[in-house]
Amino acid sequence: MKLKGDQSTSRALNRRLILNLLRQEGPKSRAEIATITGLSPAAVTFVIADLIEEGHVSEGKAVAGLAGRRPIPVEINYANGLAIGFKLMVDSVECVVTDLATSPLGSMRLTLADRDPENVAKTLAAAVPLLVQYAARPNAQLAGIGISMPGVIDNDQTTCVRSHRFAWNNVPLASILAQKVKVPVWLEDDTNAYAIAQQLFGLGRQHRNMAVMAIGVGISCSLIIEGKLYRGANGAAGKFGHVLHEEGGRLCECGKRGCLMAYHSQVSMLRTWRERTNRNDDFGLAEMLQASKEDEPAAVNILAEAGTGIGKALANLVNVTDPEVIVVGGEAVSFGDALFGPLRSTLAAHTFRTAPPLLPDWEDNSWARGAAALVTQKFFDFETSGGTSASSEALAKTSVA
């Protein structure tokens, strides 16, 4: 892997370590950074000088205390740039423009006339100047664009290798868009992008090992292992919705039968509810949600079955990967305890050790922010996190012992 900024590996690693510390802990003085990371004061001063010159970090105000003038804290300069995130769905695109901490500055929703890659790229390119204008930060440069979509994305994060929902094979969408907009573009599976955002700035900020599950049109579960997204050999890791639920069962969008998501994705739950209660397509997620709140037995049972079914599969995943927490997002989160109650109890019943906490993410805009997080991660080179201060201390202790 090419390291940014310097030929020297140790300098690049020090740089990552310091940026990740500032991201996780907020402003810190040079002396504090040296103490927490174990780097020498000279090395810290050296890296910080570089980062200030590049505009990545800036100096805060020294606070005068009883003991005299306190050291000047440094912090990440998130206002220095803009990121654009596009979350592609089959018929629409959620668009967001954010600062480099993925805090939204403006958003909009576009309709996709069709799924032709060239037309999709044209629609996205046309939205870029509008989004930059919405951000209303004339001095901030656009650092890049992140696109998230359901599918298998290559390890270079440029090409959609396969997406069943878009019927795409080997579409280099990031390259097609980059030619039109002249800024870097990264493409990623939507749950992977969401997991990156959760790790950098969301519910997983303090965790190095976590699972990020999405229950919506499909079901997927991305893994952050030792501070890094696990993409697998072909970028196809995390396709949790396609684990076997029932041999020879319902047909799945992947062409196989009996996959977990063919039963318990939000869309599949809705389909089962309509079938069992003789309702037509006019009844959607909002109606099923209302029925579950009113304790309608059909709705309550379907959510309990889903909680149990997903919980069993998730327990297997937990027993293999041992995450600290499991973050859950996607449309099905709105079902709340009707789904999470059975899910938590099933998980607890089948995990080898105490089940990790299940953390529902209630924020609506997390998904487009996930796409924007692809930019932030590349811009600061956060990947392969140097770890929290706690874990680097633990590491230091281990090496002494």
Our CB check for Zn ion shows the closer of 165 and 180 to be: 165
**Pair 41, 31: CB distance under 8 Å:** yes
The beta strands (E) that lie in 37-122 are given as 57-59, 64-65, 68-69, 73-76, 81-88, 92-98, 104-111
- For residue 85, give Cα distances in angstroms to 42, 164, 214: 38, 22, 18
**Pair 132, 113: CB distance under 8 Å:** no
Smallest gap from residue 268 Cβ to Zn ion (A)? 11
Smallest gap from residue 61 Cβ to Zn ion (A)? 55
Alpha-helical segments (H) within 70-172: 117-135
Smallest gap from residue 302 Cβ to Zn ion (A)? 20
- For residue 291, give Cα distances in angstroms to 11, 251, 296, 297, 306: 58, 27, 5, 9, 16
Measured CA to CA, the distance from residue 216 to residue 163 in angstroms comes to 16
Our CB check for Zn ion shows the closer of 21 and 259 to be: 259
Our CB check for Zn ion shows the closer of 220 and 377 to be: 220
User: What is the edge-to-edge ordering of all strands in the sheet holding 325-329?
Assistant: 228-229, 219-225, 210-215, 325-329, 358-360
Smallest gap from residue 306 Cβ to Zn ion (A)? 16
Smallest gap from residue 239 Cβ to Zn ion (A)? 8
Our CB check for Zn ion shows the closer of 252 and 288 to be: 252
Run of H or E residues at 171 = strand 168-171
Interface residue list for Zn ion (CB under 5 A)? 242, 252, 254, 256, 259
Smallest gap from residue 245 Cβ to Zn ion (A)? 9
Smallest gap from residue 246 Cβ to Zn ion (A)? 12
Our CB check for Zn ion shows the closer of 97 and 252 to be: 252
**Pair 31, 43: CB distance under 8 Å:** no
Using CB atoms within 10 A of its CB, is residue 326 exposed (0-12), middle (13-18) or buried (19+)?
buried
Find all residues with CB under 8 Å of 367, minimum gap 6, and list them: 87, 94, 148, 190, 193, 194, 329
Smallest gap from residue 255 Cβ to Zn ion (A)? 7
- For residue 165, give Cα distances in angstroms to 88, 115, 160, 218: 11, 10, 12, 10
Our CB check for Zn ion shows the closer of 125 and 254 to be: 254
Smallest gap from residue 265 Cβ to Zn ion (A)? 10
- For residue 131, give Cα distances in angstroms to 5, 111, 368: 29, 15, 13
- For residue 386, give Cα distances in angstroms to 38, 68, 381, 383, 392: 12, 33, 11, 9, 8
